[in-house]
Amino acid sequence: MDCNTVKPGQQNNGLGGATGPFWKSLQQFLPLVLGAVLVGVTACSSSPMPTNDSNALPVVATFSILDDLVQNVGGEQVQVITLVGPDGDAHTFEPTPADSAALTKAAVIFENGLGLEPWLDDLYSASGATAQRVVVSNGVDLLGIHEAGAEQAATDADHADHGEFDPHIWHNVANAMQMVENIRNALSAADPDHADLYATNAENYLAELKDLDGWVRERVATLPAARRKLVTSHDTFGYFAAAYGFEIIGTAMGSASTEAADPSARDLAALAETIKAADVPAIFAENVANPQLVEQIAQETDVKMGPPLYTDALGKAGSDGDSYIKMMRYNVDAIVNALSE
Ligand SMILES: [Zn+2]
């Protein structure tokens, strides 16, 4: 855990409680901001910022799942600063000066792309960083934003804000494998002296991911096809559903971003009807979203709630979802168990 990993709604303390996007006033207050950044960095004694005696490659991962993939390939040869930490929500993240400082120190910035990090372009320009940006979703077979019924379709404005493709690629293990290959290639290019190490680490981790994919398929096969129906807080399981044979019945927020406005009473009533008609055995809240909407739907439909799933972020260290592999195993177990009953 480092000091750049903050929960949504919490302010990283780099500017002593300042709020809002700071880059708008960056030019006016440059000396002040730089001073605050230095204070923020030095006050963060447990931060894994690279030190002078370390030859590790300083890199940034935009969110916790990507952090884990990068760590698995880079090992001790990389120093990863993560912008959106465990249980944090990349959709609604508000960067701080400490995040800007992390970008300027990085040799490589790993991002998901596809609109998951709508704040990154501004942050990157304002930071003056020169690091190479690597979009790890390159090469993945993309799915459009899920269209679960006309009343749930994303609006044109949503498309403009969040891109036309579904960003939640990691819920299909095959896509995570593509992400790992992209990470390996980028690290090897940035640090050719350690290309062999990155290749070996990636090969080992890819073997683990292949096993994970096989395990997911075996576990899902124990669930009758008629029960493979998902209802969650926001539309995050499109790739999971497509890869492992589930149907997305609907989502509480009716959007592929948690930034969406609350659904209307009419939208919720329509979703409740759909859930009842589809005979959905259980519905799920998520670690990155307020569970209140899903609780309300559960009450209205008299359908039980499964345990909250790890969706757009890992769980905190020591939790059942503190690595990508653990998160996937936890989710699949939770989904299969709750929908079996
Ligand atoms: Zn999401």
Percent of all residues in the chain with a pLDDT value above 70, rounded to a whole number: 79
Is 215 inside a domain boundary? no
| One domain for residues 193 and 307 | no
What's the whole-number mean pLDDT along residues 50-75? 88
Is 3 inside a domain boundary? no
Is 216 inside a domain boundary? no
| One domain for residues 308 and 334 | yes
- pLDDT score recorded for residue 261: 86
Q: pLDDT tens digit string along 245-297?
A: 999 999 999 999 998 888 999 999 999 999 999 999 999 999 999 999 999 99
| One domain for residues 205 and 231 | no
| One domain for residues 250 and 195 | no
Is 2 inside a domain boundary? no
Q: Distance, CA 240 to ligand 1 centroid (Å)? A: 13
Q: Distance, CA 34 to ligand 1 centroid (Å)? A: 32
Q: What is the CATH number of the domain that holds 292?
A: 3.40.50.1980
Confidence bin at 163 (pLDDT 50/70/90): low
| One domain for residues 294 and 167 | no
Mean pLDDT of all residues in the chain?
85
| One domain for residues 185 and 231 | no
| One domain for residues 179 and 249 | no
Reply yes or no on whether the pLDDT at 65 is more than 90. Answer: yes
Q: Distance, CA 120 to ligand 1 centroid (Å)? A: 16
| One domain for residues 143 and 233 | no
The pTM score is: 0.82
- pLDDT score recorded for residue 114: 97
Q: pLDDT tens digit string along 216-229?
A: 999 999 999 999 99
Residue range(s) defining the domain that contains residue 110: 13-209
Q: Distance, CA 194 to ligand 1 centroid (Å)? A: 34
In DSSP notation, 45-90 reads TT-----TT--PEEEEEEEHHHHHHHHHHHGGGEEEEEEE-TT--S
**Count of domains observed in the chain:** 2
